[in-house]
Amino acid sequence: MITNSFKKMGSVYERSKFFMIITGLWMLPFTDNPILRKFYKIYSVVLHSVFGMFSLSLMIRFVELVTEGAKSDTLFGSLTLTIILTMMIYKIVIYLKNGIPYLFYQVVDEEGKYLNSSEEEIRSTYLKQATYFNWTTSIQIMCTFFTVAMFIVSNIYKKITHSFKPGEVFMYEVWVPFDKVKYDMFISVFDVCMVTIGFFNNVAVATAPQSLMVFLTAQLRILQIRIRKVFISSNIKEQTVIFKVKELIRRHQNIIQFATKLNDGIKNVIFIEYILASVNVAAALLHILTLEFSGEMIFSIFHFLLLLVQIFILAFTAQEINTQSFNISNAVYESSWIDQSEPIKRMMHIMLMRAQKPLAISIGPFRPMNIEAALMTLKGAYSYTSLMIQKYI
């Protein structure tokens, strides 16, 4: 049996589970206590409602800034934060609506089987995928943490030293239905709490689909191993071989169904994110260009890097699913299926035909998400930035 420390090191979901529990997104049972389960449901609803109202207050204030003719750096900063938080709320709503957290049932169930497999190649393949997941999520978490930390520290420093510029506010522009001066301390504490919650939400909504996509890639790679080895033993009865081939076909079909559910659940999120990514990257870049060197600029630089990291990690992981699903057909060709009986050849041919249509994580109803799509996002961001520089700078 695997130890707890080994399980966490070789897991593609433990890290996501941690952040999803904190943000109220984990739908699988994590305790046998019914009171704690009920409390967690209430906690989840309250947390999401408060964060949703906070996002709405940012939108209202942004509209007010536009109508008041605020400075360009103030507008770009407000726009960037509004887009980030709106996307977080949208992702949370869509993930819950489409049942994305429930896909972790299969991940939790299958992961232990792979890690406890008697075949070294299967264990090592799964561990490599887990290592990739842990490295990519570590980069995302560190970039998010430094972005948030610089934002909080720079604003607290300005507040303590009273070094805010005329018209500049603590942390961000937010609309509140009461006197900001009278309740300044309450608003400041609330702002810090919302940014902290935003950190956990951002990591949770980024790592959850990442977990599922990496798990899908691991399944495809392991299926290839099993296909290549299915005909190695020559002393097995044909009925046993037929049973093994049928099991491979069933596994392939289950993987296709899992990929379809995952894609249906996140494709609209990726579509909106793909559209807004160019605007978001452009807004972050413009925020850097319109600021003098300061703690706030360092925050903007980290935020810009975070956006790039998230875009390319998503694109590369999605492209790997497409590549490995097509490699199923290569695994069939690499087995000695052509030397088998006609019934077995027909079954292998079915699997071969299914693999000719690679799986994909798509951008809405349009194209697959891949590195090319990520580069197109950067091209769009460059165009937006050039246009806004000509108009505002």
Q: Would you write out the chain's pLDDT as a tens digit for each of its 393 residues? A: 444 444 556 789 999 999 999 998 888 887 788 888 899 999 999 998 888 888 888 888 888 888 887 777 677 767 777 877 888 888 888 888 888 889 999 998 899 888 888 889 999 999 999 999 999 999 888 888 888 888 888 888 888 888 777 767 777 778 888 777 788 888 888 888 888 998 999 899 889 999 999 999 999 999 999 988 887 776 777 788 888 888 999 999 999 999 999 999 998 888 888 877 777 777 777 666 666 655 566 777 777 787 888 888 889 999 999 999 999 988 888 887 777 788 888 888 888 888 888 888 898 888 888 888 888 887 777 777 777 666 655
pLDDT of the residue at 6: 43
Q: Which two tokens stand for residue 161?
A: 């030293």
For helices 238-289 and 342-355, angle between their N-to-C axes, nearest 10 degrees = 10
pLDDT of the residue at 262: 92
Global pTM value: 0.85
- How far apart (Å, rounded) are the C-alpha atoms in residues 247 and 239? 12
101, 26 Cβ separation under 8 angstroms: yes
- How far apart (Å, rounded) are the C-alpha atoms in residues 146 and 150? 6
165: nearest Cα among 344, 296, 299, 27 = 296
- How far apart (Å, rounded) are the C-alpha atoms in residues 90 and 220? 30
pLDDT of the residue at 294: 58
pLDDT of the residue at 224: 92
pLDDT of the residue at 213: 94
pLDDT of the residue at 128: 92
Q: Coil, strand, or helix at residue 368? A: strand
Classify each residue of 302-314 as buried b or exposed e, where b means 16 or more C-beta atoms within 10 Å of its C-beta: bbbebbbbbbbbb
For helices 371-392 and 238-289, angle between their N-to-C axes, nearest 10 degrees = 10
